[in-house]
Amino acid sequence: MRRSPIRGLLMVSPPIVLIAVFVGFPVVAAVLYTFGHIGGTNSVIAAIGQRQHVSHGGLGTAAAYREVLTDQQVLRDLLVTVLVTVITVAVVLLLAGGVALYLRLSGGRIAKFLSGLAVVPMFIPVVIGGYAIRQFYATDGLFRTLAHHLGWSDAPTLSYTMGAITIGEIWVSVPFGVLLLASGFAAVPDGQIEAARDVGASLTRTVFSVILPMSRAPIVIVTTFTAISVMGSFTIPYMTGPSAPNMLGVTMTNYFVSFNQPQQAQVMAVVVFAAAALIGSAYVWANVRSGRTSGVSS
């Protein structure tokens, strides 16, 4: 029996309509506001906003983008955001990948203990974790106290620095990386690994020639999700970072709440959204490639 495509469309329409109303429409309105369209749904925020650039017709004005993207403080915060994101992604891949590889190749009690320990931060609220990191690396925190007793009298204070933000972002991101990479590595057939070892491949060669290439999709997913999460994070930078420079999530909030400049804050949000969309394209590519590979293998 041939099924009507209209019936299938009606079945999937509720979630699509829900996303369009509660996500799509606000995003479109926010983007229009950044180009100076202050009427309609943007009239309320425009009535109280300061330093607004108003469009006088046509597609709008890019004056708000020129103001924000030429501001040295915003550019510095953008650079800091990119640097923290890159460092966090690299460290998360190394730590999570190391634990996942050890679990895949060993499978012993120590490996299981490390993998279980690595996902503990997932069950701790980010607010509590951020507060703990700030107190641990404070001037009178446990880190400096232990360093002083060990003879390191000039140990650095990491609280309210970019180092504390990076540590916090890594702490939050590692559990997801361990879970996904462990699942991806476990999906590599034992026969492939044993075949590589039988022909004389070393452990390092087996990892880089068999396990990692066959786990390309989960690696890309961990990379993209971690990068997007760090770029848009607020709690960790707000609780552990300095007043300036800081990541864009905190800067947006300051512009919106403290400076009463919602248009400039939304310009930053659009910039972060565009960067996240660009990073997310790698996730889409990984899914498409994984689907084609599984289709060919089947």
**Which of 19, 39, 67 is where one domain is finished?**
67
What domain count does the chain have? 2
Please, are residues 232 and 272 in contact by the beta-carbon 8 Å criterion? yes
Give the domain-ending residue among 67, 96, 118. Answer: 67
How buried is 189 (Cβ within 10 angstroms: 0-12 exposed, 13-18 middle, 19+ buried)? exposed
Are residues 233 and 104 part of one domain?
yes
Q: What is the pLDDT of residues 157-170, one digit of tens each?
A: 899 999 999 999 99
CA angle 44–50–53, rounded 5-degree value:
90
pLDDT bucket at 66, cuts 50 / 70 / 90: very high
CB 224 within 8 A of CB 283: yes
Could you tell me if 18 and 139 lie in one domain? Answer: no
Note whether 118 and 96 are same-domain residues. Answer: yes
Are 142 and 31 contained in the same domain?
A: no
Q: What is the CATH number of the domain that holds 272?
A: 1.10.3720.10
Write down which residue in 48, 67, 86 finishes a domain: 67
What's the domain range around 222?
Answer: 71-297
Shared domain for 77 and 181, answered yes or no, is yes
**For 208, which DSSP code?**
I
Q: List pLDDT tens digits, range 77-133.
A: 999 999 999 999 999 999 999 999 999 988 788 988 988 999 999 999 999 999 999
Q: How does the average pLDDT of the chain come out, rounded?
A: 89
User: In the predicted model, is pLDDT for residue 227 greater than 80?
Assistant: yes
Say yes or no: 27 and 86 in one domain: no
